[in-house]
Amino acid sequence: MRGNRTRLVLWALCASLAAACGGGGTGARDRDARAAGGDTGTDAGGTIADGGRETAGGHDGGSGDDGAGADLRDVGVDDSARDESDTEDTAAPLPDALGADTPVMPAPKPNVVVILADDLGFADLGVQGSPDIPTPHIDSIAAAGVRFTRGYVSGPYCSPTRAALLTGRYQTRFGHEFNEGRMSNRPIFGLPVGEITFAHRMKALGYATAVVGKWHLGYEDKFRPTRRGFDEFYGTLGNTPFFNPEIVDSRVGQQPRKIDDPKFYTTFAFADRAIDIIEQRKAQPFFLYLAFNAVHAPNQAPAEYLNRFNNITNDRRRSYAAMTAALDDAVGRVLAKLRAEGLEERTLIFFLSDNGGPMTRWSPNGSSNRPLRGQKGDVWEGGIHVPFFVQWKGRLPAGMIFDRPVSQIDILPTAIAAAGGQPAPDWKLDGVNLLPFIGGQETGEPHDMLFWRFGTQRAVIDSPWKLVRGFDDSGSQGDVQPPLAQTTPWQLYNLTDDPSEKRDVAATQSARARALETAWTAWDKDNVPPAWIP
């Protein structure tokens, strides 16, 4: 009897994973379908790849039929309206293959945790090659899961990246191209209320939703997290000091309150609340968006962390190292809570930074993006190419290197698929479900191309080629606002041969450069003007 029960559990697991690989994904060369608002699904017909250290490559893509999953076409922004079917704690339905009289328990829906660092340098984690800042806990996510060595964000600074992450769409589709900039923009600055968020999508699948940390998607009441699909919010509305911040705790109210406790440190407080949410929500699937303000300026760290790095003589680098170590310990505590509750194999975890590190502009913090060119605020690699990992123990291969370009806009459709959902065409997602690409059911590129528009800067990647009109770093422009930044002419780089963008080959590859410029122009036709100018 025990053997039969084991086989039933294995069948449920395999069927659930097959649905995840099929839901919400797009094969290579489906750009036209995505531009029309649809995502082409893939019938995976199997489980996600087994563990072991692998490198995923390949260039021949394909698309298939939509996989099984919940139809979310009617999801709306009314958080109070929930159908009874939305609360079922199961993944996609299983096929009736064991007979009508055979009881089969569907595999539970995974929890989803998205951990976002702020202004983290590309080279500033142990797994990324940092020689002076050990980060064993963050590194463990890559070791136990998948490391995206071509992981990108669609915006080179704070708010636009968050807007795209929480919608699965390029932020330029709805005018969220910039931070707020001037104070006079605050009344209009925010993720447009017509955009349905990650939290709304997950609530429609029966998830509890919470955001902890830095919001930076609007200050007015209509833009705040509990109006945007999140059940609760603990954090700051924008950038903040680490000590004595103004915190919103939706459990007690919606207004920020000053924290006078001298021992309060945002990085640790955010981890504390995340752990408490896991404790309270562990009996049902939950979506936790944990957006640390670390390691954004101001450079502030507890004395015991500063003392760890007395060997670093540069004061800014030393305080940055201390903030990064505190961030790593905070992430480690959240991971330990999931482990202690037996939730590791039921939790899909993403870790990434919102943009590259600011080394000389945009509030420099002592970060390093080596060997990449550029920094925060640039569409050079140093501004948009970030540390990016995903872990789902027992479901995704451990220690895998995935070397094809992916973006933070892929997180939403990947999570929806893992939860048994299926995006509808009218969602108009730009992101894709990464599960079939990680698992090998899809062997092509997840994206035909990736695109950027940031004020006067532009870029398009058609791997391995990148056409870019980037920030002119030959002079000393300083923190010029994006609409006024002086840029280089269009330049072309082969990122496989030249990841540091040092050898422009546009002159010898002129036809390719023109074709990519044409592709960028066609993509930009579906964008809208910025909703505010910083």
- Mean of pLDDT over the chain: 86
Whether the predicted pLDDT of 197 surpasses 60: yes
Q: Using N-to-C axis directions, what is the helix angle for 315-340 and 136-143, rounded to 10°? A: 50
Domain ranges across the chain: 111-439, 450-524
Q: What is the pLDDT of residue 478?
A: 74
Of the candidates 45, 40, 54, the residue with the CA atom closest to the CA atom of residue 17: 45
Q: What is the pLDDT of residue 475?
A: 76
Whether the predicted pLDDT of 23 surpasses 70: no
Six-digit token pair at 75?
A: 């999801």
Q: Just list the catalytic residues.
A: 158, 216
pLDDT band at 105 (very low <50, low <70, confident <90, very high): low
111-439: CATH, from 1.10.3720.10, 3.60.21.10, 3.40.720.10, 3.90.640.10: 3.40.720.10
Q: What is the pLDDT of residue 308?
A: 98
Whether the predicted pLDDT of 47 surpasses 90: no
Q: What is the pLDDT of residue 48?
A: 53
Using omega within 30 degrees of 0 as the cis cutoff, is the peptide bond preceding 464 cis?
yes
d(CA 509, CA 468): 14
Q: Tell me if 47 sits within 8 A of 13, measured CB to CB.
A: yes
Whether the predicted pLDDT of 78 surpasses 60: no
Rounded to an integer, the average pLDDT of 146-153 is 98
Q: Tell me if 355 sits within 8 A of 122, measured CB to CB.
A: no
Which region among 49-63, 270-284, 292-306 has the lowest average model confidence (pLDDT)? 49-63
Ramachandran angles phi, psi of 223, nearest 5°: -95, -5
Query: CB-based burial of residue 54 (10 Å sphere; 0-12 exposed, 13-18 middle, 19+ buried)?
Result: middle
Six-digit token pair at 395?
A: 């479901």
215-241, pLDDT tens digit by residue?
999 999 999 999 999 999 999 999 999
d(CA 228, CA 473): 38
Whether the predicted pLDDT of 362 surpasses 50: yes
In this structure, the strands spanning 146-148 and 400-402 are parallel
Q: Tell me if 299 sits within 8 A of 321, measured CB to CB.
A: no
Alpha-helical (H) ranges within 30-151 are: 31-35, 136-143
Whether the predicted pLDDT of 33 surpasses 70: no
Percent with pLDDT over 70 in the chain: 80
Assign 7 to helix, strand or coil.
helix
Six-digit token pair at 130?
A: 């940092």
Q: What is the pLDDT of residue 439?
A: 96
Q: The tokens 């690989």 sit on which residue?
A: 21
Whether the predicted pLDDT of 447 surpasses 70: yes
Which region among 15-19, 288-292, 442-446 has the lowest average model confidence (pLDDT)? 15-19
Cβ neighbors of 64 (< 8 A, separation 6 or more) are 22, 27, 40, 41, 42, 43
d(CA 506, CA 526): 26
Alpha-helical (H) ranges within 181-300 are: 198-203, 266-281
Specify the higher pLDDT residue, 69 or 286: 286
For domain 450-524, the CATH class is: alpha beta
Whether the predicted pLDDT of 51 surpasses 60: no
Query: In this structure, which amino acid lies at residue 284?
Result: Q
b/e 274-308 (16+ beta carbons within 10 angstroms → b): bbebbeebbeebbbbbbbbbbbbbebbbbeebbeb
User: Would you list the DSSP string of 41-54?
Assistant: -----SPPPPSS--
Q: Tell me if 12 sits within 8 A of 104, measured CB to CB.
A: yes
Of the candidates 146, 233, 218, the residue with the CA atom closest to the CA atom of residue 438: 146
Of the candidates 80, 76, 95, 85, the residue with the CA atom closest to the CA atom of residue 205: 85
CA distances in angstroms from 524 to 175, 451, 454, 457, listed in the order given: 12, 9, 11, 12
Of the candidates 509, 481, 514, 468, the residue with the CA atom closest to the CA atom of residue 372: 468
Q: What is the pLDDT of residue 58?
A: 42
d(CA 234, CA 248): 6
DSSP strands (E only) in 169-321: 208-214, 232-236, 246-249, 257-258, 286-291
Six-digit token pair at 458?
A: 């532009």
368-410, pLDDT tens digit by residue?
999 999 999 999 999 999 999 999 999 999 999 999 999 999 9
CA distances in angstroms from 119 to 46, 129, 358, listed in the order given: 38, 17, 7
Which region among 46-50, 137-141, 433-437 has the lowest average model confidence (pLDDT)? 46-50
Assign 426 to helix, strand or coil.
helix
pLDDT band at 25 (very low <50, low <70, confident <90, very high): very low
Q: What is the pLDDT of residue 107?
A: 72
Specify the higher pLDDT residue, 53 or 225: 225
210-220, pLDDT tens digit by residue?
999 999 999 99
Specify the higher pLDDT residue, 45 or 275: 275
CA distances in angstroms from 387 to 6, 142, 236, 347, listed in the order given: 38, 10, 24, 20
Ramachandran angles phi, psi of 21, nearest 5°: -65, -25
Q: What is the pLDDT of residue 222?
A: 97
Look at phi and psi of residue 414 and say left if phi exceeds 0, alpha if psi is from -120 to 50, else beta: alpha
Whether the predicted pLDDT of 102 surpasses 80: no
Q: Tell me if 411 sits within 8 A of 156, measured CB to CB.
A: no
Of the candidates 333, 330, 340, the residue with the CA atom closest to the CA atom of residue 282: 340
Whether the predicted pLDDT of 469 surpasses 50: yes
Query: Which of the 8 DSSP states describes residue 415?
Result: H
Q: What is the pLDDT of residue 233?
A: 98
Whether the predicted pLDDT of 325 surpasses 50: yes
Whether the predicted pLDDT of 418 surpasses 80: yes
Specify the higher pLDDT residue, 9 or 253: 253
Q: What is the pLDDT of residue 20?
A: 52
Q: Tell me if 423 sits within 8 A of 72, measured CB to CB.
A: yes
Q: What is the pLDDT of residue 133?
A: 98
Percent with pLDDT over 90 in the chain: 78
